[in-house]
Amino acid sequence: AQSVTQLDSQVPVFEEAPVELRCNYSSSVSVYLFWYVQYPNQGLQLLLKYLSGSTLVKGINGFEAEFNKSQTSFHLRKPSVHISDTAEYFCAVSDTSGTYKYIFGTGTRLKVLA
Amino acid sequence: GAVVSQHPSWVICKSGTSVKIECRSLDFQATTMFWYRQFPKQSLMLMATSNEGSKATYEQGVEKDKFLINHASLTLSTLTVTSAHPEDSSFYICSARPTGEPGYTFGSGTRLTVV
């Protein structure tokens, strides 16, 4: 069985500071990894995904994430955050075949402070 | 890119009535769609897997007779909350992906309030 852990439920950070949102996963098979962002009362928007290849993945809005197989991690980073980055961030894993059903983490609320 | 449209965005209904939520893939065909429920400040809880042309697969603890799912075409899945009660009030989100491609696109969600 797969699982996803987002250790930080809330992360406050000042505007223009860097941020890292942590995601660790557990799986006995290969996985695909995803980060999504959710703004209030909206659906989820894909930030980036790791399917294969380079372990450093660049996404939208200046976000990037690095897949670390040995540490089973897929942490999300941004070098300089904006007020508009305030949102809920979800990490997800899926199988690499079949329906690709997601297992979601519990989410991290990023609060950017002025 | 893949676009999923969910309608309505919000709905208020009286207790005991039924509400239908639509999820459409606008520019691709989807044999599988997922329906989630999200409580305030929580993660998404998978309710069911909607399969085109066949019965939906429900997660443990989800009442099949209360949450009716129909996936009659490759671009449309519907979730009907039957005999809604206040405890069914929640945020419902669907997702879909182009066949053969990993990575799901999510609808914008439906805020259901039962009064």
- pLDDT tens digits, one per residue of B35-73: 999 998 889 999 999 988 889 999 999 999 999 999 989
Question: Could you write out the DSSP letters of every residue in B25-82?
Answer: ESSS--SEEEEEEE-TTS-EEEEEEEETTS--EEPTT--TTTEEEEEEETTEEEEEE-
B28 and A CB contact within 8 Å: no
3-class DSSP state for residue A61? helix
Residue A96: the pLDDT is: 87
CA dist., res. A88 & res. A9, Å (int): 9
| Disruptive mutation site among A42, A48, A89, A106 for chain B (greatest number of B CBs within 10 Å) | A42
Q: Write down the mean pLDDT value for chain B.
A: 93
Is the bond leading into A79 cis (omega within 30 degrees of zero)? no
Interface contact A90-B103, CB threshold 8 A:
no
**Taking residues A104-108, what's their average pLDDT?**
95
B51 CB within 8 Å of a chain A CB: no
What are the backbone dihedrals phi and psi of residue A33, each rounded to the nearest 5 degrees, phi first?
A: -130, 145
Among candidate residues A35, A56, A54, the one with its CA nearest the CA of residue A46: A35
Residue B1 clears pLDDT 80, i.e. is over it: no
Q: What is the pLDDT of residue B40?
A: 86
Chain A within 8 Å of B103 (Cβ-Cβ)? yes
**Residue A16: is it exposed, middle or buried by C-beta count within 10 angstroms (0-12/13-18/19+)?**
exposed
d(CA B58, CA B62): 6
Say which residues have a Cβ less than 8 Å from residue A68's Cβ, sequence separation at least 6: A55, A74, A75
- Please, are residues A34 and B103 in contact by the beta-carbon 8 Å criterion? yes
Residue A61 phi/psi, 5-degree rounding, is 60, 25
The pLDDT value given to residue B34:
94
Q: What is the pLDDT of residue B99?
A: 78
Listed in sequence order, the residues at least 6 apart from B55 whose beta carbon sits closer than 8 Å to its beta carbon are none
Contacting B with CB below 8 Å, chain A residues are: 32, 34, 36, 41-46, 49, 51, 90, 94, 96, 99-102, 104-107, 109
Chain A residues with CB under 8 Å of B104 CB are 100, 102
Chain B from 59 to 98: CB within 8 A of any A CB: 91, 93, 95, 97
A99–B49 C-beta distance less than 8 A: yes
pLDDT of the residue at A41:
84
Q: To 5 degrees, how large is the angle CA A94–CA B80–CA B53?
A: 60
C-beta separation of B90 from B79 below 8 A: no
| pLDDT at residue B102, as a whole number | 81
Digit-coded pLDDT (tens) for A7-63? 999 999 999 999 999 999 999 889 999 999 999 888 999 999 999 999 999 999 999
**Pairs of CB atoms within 8 A across A/B:** 52
